[in-house]
Amino acid sequence: ISASARGSLRMKSPLFSATGLFCYSEFSLSSGRSHFFVDAAQIKKVFHGVSATVEGMALASYMAEIAMELSPTPAEGEADAQLRLLLNCLYLIGERRYPWRQLKAVYELRALSKAGYMPDLRMCAGCGKYEGGEFYLDAVGGLLLCADCAERQRHIPNLDAGALYAMRHIFWTVEDKKVFGFKISPESLKDLSRVSEQYTLANLEHGLKTLDFLKTVLE
C-alpha cells in the first residue's frame, strides 16, 4: 500500500519522525479517491545504524526495493514473513556483524525462498552427485550441475564447495534467526554473492536501480 503523508517533511510535523527513511512505524490511514493518506503514525523501531555508512544505506535501499518487488498481497498471507526478514537484515546492517556481501546474499536468497522461488539444490540434475568439487547453478532454470555435467553442457562452474554449502544453508534452514550463522571464506563469498545476484535478477526479470548504485560502493 502506498500512502501520502502530507506535511511530513516539516520538522514540526507529528509525522516527521515516524515517516523517516528505514523507520518501522504503525500507521493510521484514510482512503481518498485515488490513494491513501497517513492520518497518524507511531514509531516502533528506528534503525539508526543503517545510516552510519554509505554501504549500509545502499544495501538497505536495495533490500527495500526487493521487498517491494516481492511484496505479497494480504490474501497470500506471506507479508509477515517477508517483513520479519527485512527488519532482521536492517538491524544486522546497523550492527555490522557480517560482511556486506554476506548479508546481501542471505537477504536475496531468503526473500526469494519465501516468495516461492527456490532452485533444486539437492543434487546434480545430470548424474545425482551431491558434493565434491565445483558446481554450476543455472540461474534461469534453477538446476544444479556438477563440474563434469556442466562441462558437457558447455557451462563453466560458478559455485565452489563453500558457496554451495552456504546456499543450501540459506535456503534450507528453517528458522530465520539461524540463517545468518555460517562462516564462509572470501573466495567462496565472491561466488555466493555473484550467483545469488544472478538468481535474483533472473527471477525478478529486470534490473534494479538500487543494485546499480550498491555495486559502485561495494567494489
Read off the pLDDT of each residue in 196-218 and give the average, rounded to a whole number. 94
Contact assessment for residue 160 and residue 134, using Cβ atoms and an 8 Å cutoff: yes
Domain 47-122+134-218 is found in CATH 1.20.1440: yes
pLDDT digits (tens, 9 = 90+) for 126-144: 999 999 999 999 999 999 9
Strand order in the sheet with 36-46: 3-4, 36-46, 23-31
Confidence of residue 79 (pLDDT cuts 50, 70, 90): confident
Residues 6+ apart with CB under 8 A from 120: 142, 143, 144
> Residue 169: pLDDT above 70?
yes
Which strand (E) or helix (H) includes residue 150?
Answer: helix 147-152
Contact assessment for residue 166 and residue 137, using Cβ atoms and an 8 Å cutoff: no
Map grid coordinates 554501504 to a residue. 55
> Residue 76: pLDDT above 70?
no
> Residue 151: pLDDT above 70?
yes
Give residue limits of the domains in the chain.
1-46, 47-122+134-218
Confidence of residue 33 (pLDDT cuts 50, 70, 90): confident
* Helix/strand/coil for 37: strand
Read off the pLDDT of each residue in 142-147 and give the average, rounded to a whole number. 97
162: left (phi over 0), alpha (psi -120 to 50) or beta: alpha
What distance in Å separates the CA atoms of residue 76 and residue 63, rounded to the nearest whole number?
Answer: 21
